[in-house]
Structure formats: C-alpha cells, structure tokens
Chain A
Amino acid sequence: MLNFVEWLATTEWSIALHESLYLYPWIESSHVLFICIFFGTLIFVDLRLTGVVFKDLSVETLNKKILPLTLIGFCLMCITGLLLFYAIPIRNYQNIFFRIKIFLIFIAGLNALFFHKRMAREAKDWDANSSIPTSMKVSAVSSLFTWSLVIISGRLIAYNWFDCDRQPQSDWINFLTSCVVDYQLYEEVDGI
C-alpha cells in the first residue's frame, strides 16, 4: 500500500495538484459545499425518521424526493475527496484522522446498508400505521452521529500533530499510522 501511494505521489497530476496555487483550494472548497448538499439533505431524511420534520409527508415520499439529491452530493463529494487524497497521497495515507475517517465511513456505510434494506421492505407499513420502529430511529440517529464524526475527523486531517515527519510519536501512534520511522526518508516528503 505504501508503495502504491508513493507511486501515486510521483504521478504528474498529483504533483500538479498539490503545487497549484488555486486548484487545490478550489477543490477543497467545493468538497465542503458538496458536504453541505450530502449531509445537509441527509439530516432531513434522518430527522424525518425520528419524526421531527416533514411529518405530513410519508417516509417513502420524502426519501424518494430528497435522496437523489443526497446521492448527487455524495458522488461529487467522493470525486473531490479522491482528488484531495490524490494531491497529497502519502501524507493522507499515513494520517491518523484520515484512517479514522475511512473507518467511520465504513461504519456509516454498513448502517446505511442495513437501513435501506429494511426501509425498502417495510417503509409502506410504517406510513400506513404512522409509526416508525425504534430500531429505525436508532439507525437514523446513528447515521447523523457517525457522519458528524466523519466530517470532524475529515476536518482534522489538515492538522499534522501525528504526522510521520513529527517524531518522536508514541509507538501506538506510529503503529496506527504505519509510520516507518526513518528520518532520512521523511526529509524528502517534509513540508507538505
């Protein structure tokens, strides 16, 4: 994996991206805007399930109308996110917050999978009885909570407290970030 990101870092576009004065900030800013579209609309979908907003609309109706927007936000967010990773691959790969973020996205993804499977099967019943099962409400709140943590850890990637080029770090930090503690090697990637 480290070999792969090291190779990525040597590709022409990666160098161009992180050396560009304006492109990187533009991608970063649009990443934030797409987070607003993705998470902002997801907030309403989840809040509907907990029963605090759009109560006059059925869960099914609201989801059908809002989730496409959420999905568009998600795709754009992924594209810009991948570009941001690609601009600084080694540093991101070894960044502890990046790793926490990926782990949390995985958890949020599992939650979403569970959620949508059950929703596809049962949403009609909830609307007919106008009662949403508690487990679904828990899932909706977990979604809000996990995605919030994803955003927070994503924001923290920018900070270099635990970066490999800042040694000494405790052994478990170096383990979690897969840092190869070899000062000569890290002098080369210093300053990104």
Chain B
Amino acid sequence: MEYSQTIELFYFFEDSFIGQYIRNSTWLFPIIESFHLLGLAMLGGSVVIADFRLMGLVLKTESNSYVLLQTKPWFKLGLCLLVLTGVPLFLSEAVKCYYSRAFWIKMTCLVIGIAFTFFVRNPLVLKIENGKLISLLGFSSFLLWTVVAASGRWIGFS
C-alpha cells in the first residue's frame, strides 16, 4: 500500500465510532488500558512459565509438553483479552500510532510472536520434546514477547 493510502486508512480508523467514543471519554481509555495490562500479565505469566521451562530454569521434573499444555489455554485467554482491549485503544489514537516507531516495532513483533508461538514453538515442543533446539525456542519466544510488551508500553511515551 502506498504512503497516502495507509495514512488515510489510519485516519479512517481514528474517525470510527469506537475511536471517537473512547476519545470523547475521560475514563474509558485508562480503564481499557488497565485491562490491557492485566491481559498482558496473564499472557506474560504463561510465556514466562512455559519458556523458562523450555530453557530448563523451572519445573525441571515436569515434561516440556506438560507445562506447555497447562499454560496454553491461559496464553490464549490473555491474548484474547489483549486483542479485545488493544483494538479499541488503537482505534482511539490510530494516527498517533501511525507516526510512532514503537507501534510498528510492536506490531511486527506481535505478528511474528503469534506465528512463532502457534506454528513453530508449540508444535515443535510437542513433537521433539527435549534438546538444545527446544531451549533456543524458549529463549526466542521469551525475547519476542518481551519486545512486544516493552515496545507496547513505549507507544505511550511517544
């Protein structure tokens, strides 16, 4: 898409009903943002426990696949909460996001993170179970989601 088309699209998002509604309210943005943070904690906890297990740092007597399967539903729940709250937050300040480098870094890492988790990390852990590669997967996943969270926070500073 060309530059002008992209920015037009972002203006369209910002002019959307939900975007305007949140902007016109004093409390709505902060409250949605707070729940976004709670979703992040849930996703973050799942990532920390699962990835630290893959790196061999916690729950060493339990198998990788067991820990992954136990944390997976909460990862998904956290992700749902994040998307459900994240989209309205984005709509309310889409144009600011367009000009924010942190936003683009976050979105890029988020897409990679989701694809990596569901199509690479999870299937491989369930298939191969142990080994150096699995530790590397855990480390990469942890790093990716850390960047997503930190750059997400950074959108607020720009």
Contact = CB atoms under 8 A, between A and B. Distances in A.
Chains A and B form a bound pair: yes
What secondary structure prevails in chain A residues at the interface with B?
helix
Interface in A34-69: 35-37, 39-44, 47, 53-54, 56-57, 65-66, 69
Contacts of B62: 57
A33 B149 contact: yes
Contacts of A8: none
B71 interface: yes
A113 interface: no
Interface stretch (B3-11, B46-54, B92-100, B121-129): B46-54
B42 A29 contact: no
B37 A155 contact: yes
A33 B146 contact: yes
Nearest to A42: B45
A65 B74 CA distance: 19
Interface in B118-158: 146, 149-150, 153-154, 157
B154 A40 contact: no
B45 A44 contact: yes
Contacts of B47: 36, 40
A32 B33 contact: no
Contacts, number: 92
Nearest to B40: A36
Contact of A25 (B40, B71, B154): B154
Interface centre among B38, B47, B71 (most CB of A within 10 A): B38
B84 interface: no
B131 to A, nearest CB: 22
A151 B45 contact: no
Contact of B30 (A30, A47, A66, A156): A156
Chain A interface residue count: which class? 20 to 34
A151 B45 CA distance: 15
A65 B44 contact: no
A29 B150 contact: yes
Contacts of B33: 155
A21 B154 CA distance: 12
A42 B48 CA distance: 11
A35 B149 CA distance: 11
A58 B83 CA distance: 33
A65 B58 contact: yes
A53 to B, nearest CB: 6
Interface in A117-160: 148, 151-152, 155-156, 158-159
Contact of A40 (B31, B45, B146): B45
B41 A40 contact: yes
Given A44-B45, A69-B49, A155-B30, 16 more contacts: A32-B149, A32-B150, A33-B149, A33-B150, A36-B43, A36-B149, A39-B45, A43-B74, A44-B74, A53-B70, A66-B49, A66-B58, A69-B48, A148-B38, A151-B37, A156-B30
Instruction: State the 9 A-B residue pairs at the shortest beta-carbon distance, nearest first.
Output: A40-B45, A36-B44, A152-B34, A40-B44, A39-B41, A29-B153, A155-B34, A29-B150, A25-B157
